[in-house]
């Protein structure tokens, strides 16, 4: 009489590998999810949990309305009180008029305006490159923006031999904004301009 037949369990590794891989992927996903939680208590340098302070009571929530179109940030210095901006705008108006008068004097003496080739440049920040520096023949020193740092807050010139437009940033409602703002001046909320056109 033969004894009870023994059963042998054979595992085919080719079938087991995909199952093991799936288990490993699930384990990694769970691990990553748990590690990414932000509500883990902070520990001090000795590994002891730091007790959380009293939590603030949430205030009433508002129903969000339409959000305004974001405008580029103006240079941080201009975000002072509005009266200071108006005072600086008064200086800018006088300065651009002075530079405009110098452009006319230059043209009377030389037959044409200093030309930027229709491009836009600072009036005279870069001595070797800015065509506005030619105005030193008739206006020296050339005025600069009251905020200083003329590469960022300066006055700009766009000109040909026959036309010119001068630009400056505008901080108040003291003066009308320029109808068109060159892309080069997009960092400013608004600009004003003086033109011979």
Q: Residue 184 pLDDT more than 90?
A: no
pLDDT tens profile 95-144? 999 999 999 999 999 999 999 999 999 999 999 999 999 999 999 999 99
Question: Is residue 52 a part of any domain in this protein?
Answer: no
pLDDT tens profile 19-52? 877 888 887 787 777 766 555 555 666 666 665 5
β partners of residue 194? 166
How far, in Å, CA of 166 to CA of 130, rounded?
13
Question: Is residue 154 a part of any domain in this protein?
Answer: yes
Radius of gyration of the chain from Cα atoms? 35
Flag whether the pTM goes above 0.75.
no
Question: Is residue 40 a part of any domain in this protein?
Answer: no
**Which pLDDT does position 78 carry in this prediction?**
43
Question: Is residue 41 a part of any domain in this protein?
Answer: no
Question: Is residue 105 a part of any domain in this protein?
Answer: yes
Residue span of the structural domain in which 166 resides: 79-195
Question: Is residue 45 a part of any domain in this protein?
Answer: no
Question: Is residue 177 a part of any domain in this protein?
Answer: yes
Instruction: Verify cis geometry, omega within 30 degrees of 0, for the bond prior to 141.
Output: yes
Mean pLDDT of the chain: 79
Question: Is residue 30 a part of any domain in this protein?
Answer: no
Q: What's the domain count of the chain?
A: 1
Q: Residue 75 pLDDT more than 50?
A: no
């Amino acid at each position: 009489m033969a004894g009870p037949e023994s059963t042998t369990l054979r595992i085919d590794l080719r079938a087991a590998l995909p199952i093991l891989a799936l288990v490993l992927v699930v384990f990694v996903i769970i691990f990553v999810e748990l590690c990414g939680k932000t509500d883990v208590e902070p520990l001090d340098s000795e590994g002891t949990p730091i007790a959380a302070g009293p939590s603030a009571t949430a205030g009433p929530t508002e129903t969000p309305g339409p959000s305004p179109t974001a405008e580029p940030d103006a240079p941080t210095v201009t975000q002072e009180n509005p009266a200071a901006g108006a005072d600086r705008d008064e200086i800018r108006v006088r300065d651009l008029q002075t530079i405009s008068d110098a452009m006319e004097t230059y043209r009377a003496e030389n037959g044409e305006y200093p030309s930027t080739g229709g491009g836009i440049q600072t009036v005279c920040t870069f001595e070797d490159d800015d065509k506005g520096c030619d105005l030193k023949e008739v206006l020296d020193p050339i005025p600069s923006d009251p905020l200083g740092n003329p590469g960022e807050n300066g006055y700009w010139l766009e000109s040909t031999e026959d036309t010119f437009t001068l630009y400056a940033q505008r901080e108040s409602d003291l003066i009308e904004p320029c109808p068109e703002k060159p892309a080069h001046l997009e960092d400013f909320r608004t600009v004003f301009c003086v033109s011979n056109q």
